[in-house]
Amino acid sequence: MNSTTENPPVARMNAWWYSSPQTFYRLAGKLAPWFAALAAILTVIGLYIGFFVAPTDATQGQSYRIIFIHVPSAWMSMFLYVVMAFWAAIGLAFNTRLSSMMATAIAPTGALMTFIALWSGALWGRPTWGAYWVWDARLTSELILLFLYLGFIALQAAIDDRRRADKAGAVLAIIGVVNVPIIYFSVQWWNTLHQGASVSVKGSSMASIMLAGMLVMVFAVWMYCIAAVLYRVRTIILERERHTAWVRELVAGEPLK
Amino acid sequence: MIWSSWEAFWAMGGYGRYVWGSYGVFFAIVALECWQLRLRRRAALQEARRAAARPGR
């Protein structure tokens, strides 16, 4: 696969066509603003429901409103890790450059989501449990998730050769996947201070308007993460494909902004 | 309406610092990430332009 040559029209029929960094750069540029706009709109709707429609919680008072940011960021922190490991594994197995770039692009957003989950959890824990932090299975495994993201970023940054950095990062990411089910099932496997899931396949233990607000915020944060990753992967493509003919042509025609 | 006044809204039933501490950090992080993405894109474009201008490649 040579990204410096134009793709023949017939290749458009093939899904693999999008695995070319050049093609994906354009596609991501078209899609990212839509995801960003969707994220903004959903955030406004979600926070409106969360703060102005959803009633006060009977046992937790107003402190429960942290849920509208805590659950979406916690879900995304785990989901993004699995997606990151998936792309890293594809990159490792098939030596596809774009897959590895995707994994690298996901890591910072995943780390930030993990941090927000931990931070909002600490601020929720203080009024609810009386402590910002406890060495509970759920909290500890989520902290390990943050270290896995940071380890992935640090490891890739420490290796100069990009393809080697991709491979080393992929191995770390794949091994770390074992932590995701541990986080998810920790509240069932161990006696934790952290409550069990409010939402499951069997239904929800929350009032439906609270649940609606939370789910809208889940989609808002999800769309934000997609937008951020698409914007970042574009930059990573530019950085790594700097010396290819298509990037030269691209920057030749584009004014400085 | 849940809130009798804006003061009641900001007070969050006495949990204001926890609720706004969560949302404040969330929005600060989102803003920082967007800013960082912008800076990194600019740097990458500039670097690509420099590479394209370099003769003999």
pLDDT at A1: 45
A204 occurs within a structural domain: no
Q: Which residues of B touch A244 (CB under 8 A)?
A: none
At residue A37's C-alpha, the angle toward residues A35 and A39, to 5°, is 70
pLDDT tens over chain B, length 57 residues: 689 999 999 999 999 999 999 999 999 999 999 999 999 999 999 999 988 887 655
Compare all CA atoms of chain A with the CA of B41 and give the residue at the minimum distance. Answer: A235
Q: Which residues of A touch B41 (CB under 8 A)?
A: 231, 234-235, 238
Contact criterion met (CB below 8 Å) for A135 and A191: no
Q: Which residues of A touch B15 (CB under 8 A)?
A: 61-63, 65, 127
Which among A180, A61, A48, A16 has a CA at the least distance from the CA of A114?
Answer: A180
Considering only CB atoms, which residues of chain B are within 8 Å of chain A? 1-3, 9, 12-15, 17-19, 21-23, 25-26, 29-30, 33-34, 37, 40-42, 44-49, 51-52, 57
A25 occurs within a structural domain: yes
pLDDT at A178: 96
Helix or strand run (H / E) with residue A28: helix A21-48
8 Å CB contact of B33 and A112:
yes
From first CA to last CA, the distance across chain B in angstroms is 67
pLDDT at A223: 98
Query: Count of alpha carbons within 13 Å of A214, Cβ hemisphere only?
Result: 20
A11 occurs within a structural domain: no
Domain count, chain A: 1
Q: Which residues of B touch A65 (CB under 8 A)?
A: 12, 15, 19
pLDDT less than 70: residues of chain A? 1-18, 201, 253-257
pLDDT at B44: 95
Q: Which of A51, A149, A251 to mutate to test the interface with B (most CBs of B within 10 A)?
A: A251
ipTM of the complex: 0.92
Q: Can you read off the two tokens belonging to residue A49?
A: 């429901």
**Domain locations in chain B as residue ranges:** 7-52
CA A77 to chain centre: 6
Query: Count of alpha carbons within 13 Å of A162, Cβ hemisphere only?
Result: 15
- Which domain does A121 fall in, by range? 21-55+62-196+222-248
8 Å CB contact of A124 and B22:
yes
pLDDT at A257: 47
Give pLDDT tens digits for A98-121. Answer: 999 999 999 999 999 999 999 999
CA distance A91 to chain B (A): 23
Nearest 10 degrees: Cα torsion A241, A244, A249, A250: -10
- Cα–Cα distance between A220 and A64 in angstroms, integer? 19
Which among A251, A229, A253, A246 has a CA at the least distance from the CA of A80?
Answer: A229
Q: Which residues of B touch A210 (CB under 8 A)?
A: none
pTM higher than 0.95 = no
pLDDT at B52: 84
Q: Hey, how many other C-beta atoms are within 10 angstroms of the C-beta on A230?
A: 22
Q: What CATH number does residue A85 fall under? A: 1.20.120
A202 occurs within a structural domain: no
